[in-house]
Amino acid sequence: MPTPIKMPALSPTMEEGTLAKWLVKPGDTVSAGDIMAEIETDKATMEFEAVDEGTIASIAVEAGTEGVKVGTVIAILAEEGEDVDEAAAAAPSGDEEPAEEKPARDESEDKSEPAKAAPRESAKPAGASVDTDTKAPAAPKDDSGERIIASPLARRIAEQNGVDLSTITGSGPRGRIVKADVESAEGGSAKSAADTSPPKDKDGAKSSAKAPASDHGAPYEEEKLSNVRKVIARRLTESKQQVPHYYLAVDIRLDALLDLRKQLNAGLEADGVKLSVNDLLIKALARALMRVPDCNVSYQGDTLHRYSRADVSVAVAAPSGLITPIITEADTRGLASISAHMKELAEKAREGKLQPHEYQGGTASLSNLGMFGIKQFDAVINPPQGMIMAVGAGEQRPYVVDGALQVATVMTASGSFDHRAIDGATGAQLMEAFKNLIENPMGLVV
């Protein structure tokens, strides 16, 4: 019996995703663990593995398709001994909408599910909505009275856009009209409903040139937002609207930390380890959080979560947008371990290969823009975390040392705090602890 391959839930909050790329084609044989596709979730682009073996009978959802709901059939797998053509003919259309009645968790536990999917939350994320009341129009008939075979989604799109299904040849099984068929026919049908002829020049002749899109005369190209970018936009907007931020800044002398880094790197060179300043700052923030545990909290409505370890989320700029992989147990990890783990996570983030457990959670965040020459900035809190530390570049500045004016390497750090969870005096204690650990860095290695 053919096995339907369904769109998996690759993160707890995933409701839909973009089928970015197929790595298999009809006729290919797959085994458990083979990578079949790349799927863009609300967080990152992730690989989609097969858990059954068989032959790909058909691809129901084409690469590049956006907004594919979790549970939608995206391909059909023929088992050993099955006729691939028969399995493909018996397959449902890929643009059939998944049933809404069954809870999402039932779907992830379906034994026929050919993907490793993370459990999904029962509640939809803020802003998400599913139109469960809209029903597809009744199946139309052609001039001879024969019923036109089309998927419910294809019929709905055709009705909304005034497309005559009787003029379309279906590309699905048994000539079934699917979403792609309607969309490819929309251009021609739309022209019959409105005058879309090219503009005429001053002599009345039709012009073949297409004017570029512009806003108030400024030309532009339209680019669709990725799922990751949409989530970033939503979450940061919610943070600035709902979280009462306050900001505390301190100037920190870096000379002692830079000297310690130089010594440590000299001793670790034979092991292939090279510590960055950011590695030491991660450790400093983690230790500061343990010294001021009232800042190592998250705001959870009517409750606070107080954490017994420091998991530091580190902001990384990836092609798809900002993401924050987590250095877990940063307060007890050695500096070499932090450095190696950070390099691995940053590389995976840039390649879009982070797993959910590598970027979800964290007890506080660190964002460093010093490598761009930024002197100081205020970062946006990543809820439900209670704070984020923003650090700028270390630069030569006049600095008073033991009552005398000297030139020192100084960095400005700015902490953003959630006033619902962390009082101003408590936030100031964390900034003081962070400064002391950096200016007296032996506390980072013992």
Active site residues: 419
Tokens of 391: 């650090």
50 within 8 A of 115, measured Cβ to Cβ: yes
CA angle 326, 330, 336 (to 5 degrees): 100
> What HEC string does 91-124 produce?
CCCCCCCCCCCCCHHHHHCCCCCCCCCCCCCCCC
Tokens of 224: 């669709």
In angstroms, rounded to a whole number, what is the distance separating the alpha carbons of residues 162 and 280? 62
Element (H, E) at 4: strand 3-6
82 class by beta-carbon count within 10 Å (0-12 exposed, 13-18 middle, 19+ buried) = middle
In angstroms, rounded to a whole number, what is the distance separating the alpha carbons of residues 4 and 32? 15
Name residue, tokens 């009275």: 145
In angstroms, rounded to a whole number, what is the distance separating the alpha carbons of residues 125 and 39? 19
Q: Tell me the β-bridge partners of 414.
A: 249, 390
For the chain, give me the number of helices (H) and strands (E)?
A: 9, 21
Grouping H, G, I as helix, E, B as strand and the rest as coil, residue 249 is strand
Name residue, tokens 């939503």: 234
Tokens of 5: 């391959």
Grouping H, G, I as helix, E, B as strand and the rest as coil, residue 392 is coil
CA atoms within 13 Å, Cβ hemisphere of 140: 20
302 within 8 A of 421, measured Cβ to Cβ: no
Give 402's contacts (C-beta < 8 A, 6+ positions apart): none
Grouping H, G, I as helix, E, B as strand and the rest as coil, residue 58 is strand
For the beta carbon of residue 357, count every other beta carbon within 10 angstroms: 11
